[in-house]
């Protein structure tokens, strides 16, 4: 009896937030949504809605894209507004490679490890400079590196060496790297399991892997990678042993966004990413939270899966405090 009590006590603590209360199902779902937006102004309806969703716990982070600013001052203004929102867990504040290039054009292709390796570019100083630069904006999530390669001459161990340097430097700067795209972003190819070597080499170092929107008929003929339980669970989780956070590529690329979010979570994504937060002029995040919550109630998604994803995200966010 005592053992059961201790187990329940530990379990309850694991699901507690800063106020020592277990978050509601909707709160946990909110942490699984990361959103972008289309506007450039802090006064726009969409940006104000995004901040409201962040404060209400409907999203767990924001991705800043090149479309969101014209210059560094405008970017800093956006970030300042985001940072002043009070949240239970620190939000992810991320950027992608195009955003970084817009901040400094000399950083072009830095995330494409294939290009860096082909040209044998020294990267330690470059990666350190970029990490310092984006950290100065209070960015804590970097949607890079891209470890996919179409170059048959290039050896996977070369890509692994560059990925290792990239991950080490950004992690040391407390900027979480997101390795992408799993298993590749080239749907035209018949997937070769040897291409998984880079992921296998980095599996114990990387915290987040982004699932691809491409389809690989020899792995799963029916689903894009980010909708495939075969690819995300059977291969990434079971075969490669990845225990970190799986984040989807942008779900706005095709189809019904609400159904896409549900399919992505069923497949095994911990975080679903949407590059815009307005849907029919309303909060997309709010619609997604409600739809995913209903999917749990209807038995399409297990509450255990939501809790597991939440705990992975919470554990990762502890590094950001």
C-alpha span between 167 and 155 (Å, rounded): 19
C-alpha span between 307 and 319 (Å, rounded): 19
pLDDT digit string (tens) for 144-191?
Answer: 998 887 666 667 788 888 899 999 999 999 999 999 999 988 765 677
What pLDDT is recorded for position 137?
96
In the chain, pLDDT over 90 holds for what percent of residues? Answer: 70
C-alpha span between 90 and 111 (Å, rounded): 25
pLDDT digit string (tens) for 112-130?
Answer: 777 777 666 678 888 899 9
- CB under 8 Å to 52, separation ≥6 — which residues? 283
**Could you name the CATH architecture of 25-319?**
Alpha-Beta Barrel (3.20)
pTM score? 0.91
C-alpha span between 172 and 124 (Å, rounded): 12
Query: What 3-state class would DSSP assign to 268?
Result: coil
């Amino acid at each position: 009896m005592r053992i059961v009590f201790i187990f329940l006590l530990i379990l309850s603590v694991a699901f507690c937030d800063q106020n020592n209360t277990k978050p509601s199902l909707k709160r946990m779902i909110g942490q699984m949504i990361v959103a972008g937006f289309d506007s450039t102004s802090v006064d726009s309806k969409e940006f104000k809605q995004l901040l409201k969703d962040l404060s209400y716990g409907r999203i767990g982070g924001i991705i800043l894209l090149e479309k969101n600013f014209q210059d560094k001052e405008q970017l800093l203004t956006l970030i300042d507004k985001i940072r002043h929102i009070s949240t239970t867990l620190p939000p992810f504040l991320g950027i992608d490679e195009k955003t970084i290039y817009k901040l400094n054009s000399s950083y072009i292709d830095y995330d494409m490890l294939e290009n860096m390796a082909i040209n044998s570019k020294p990267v330690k100083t470059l990666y350190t400079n970029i990490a310092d630069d984006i950290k100065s904006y209070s960015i804590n999530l970097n949607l890079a590196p891209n470890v996919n390669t179409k170059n048959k001459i290039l050896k996977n161990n070369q890509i692994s060496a560059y990925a290792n340097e990239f991950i080490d430097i950004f992690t040391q700067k407390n900027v979480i790297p997101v390795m992408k795209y799993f298993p590749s972003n080239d749907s035209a190819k018949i997937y070769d399991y040897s291409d998984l070597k880079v992921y296998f080499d980095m599996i114990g170092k990387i915290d987040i892997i982004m699932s691809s929107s491409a389809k690989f008929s020899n792995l799963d003929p029916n689903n894009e990678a980010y909708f495939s339980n075969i690819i995300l669970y059977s291969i990434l989780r079971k075969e490669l042993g990845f225990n970190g956070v799986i984040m989807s590529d942008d779900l706005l690329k095709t189809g019904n966004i609400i159904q896409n979010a549900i399919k992505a979570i069923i497949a095994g994504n911990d975080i679903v990413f949407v590059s815009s937060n307005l849907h029919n002029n309303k909060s997309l995040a709010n619609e997604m939270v409600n739809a995913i919550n209903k999917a749990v109630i209807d038995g399409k998604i297990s509450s255990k899966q939501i809790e597991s994803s939440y705990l992975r995200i919470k554990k990762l966010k502890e590094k950001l405090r």
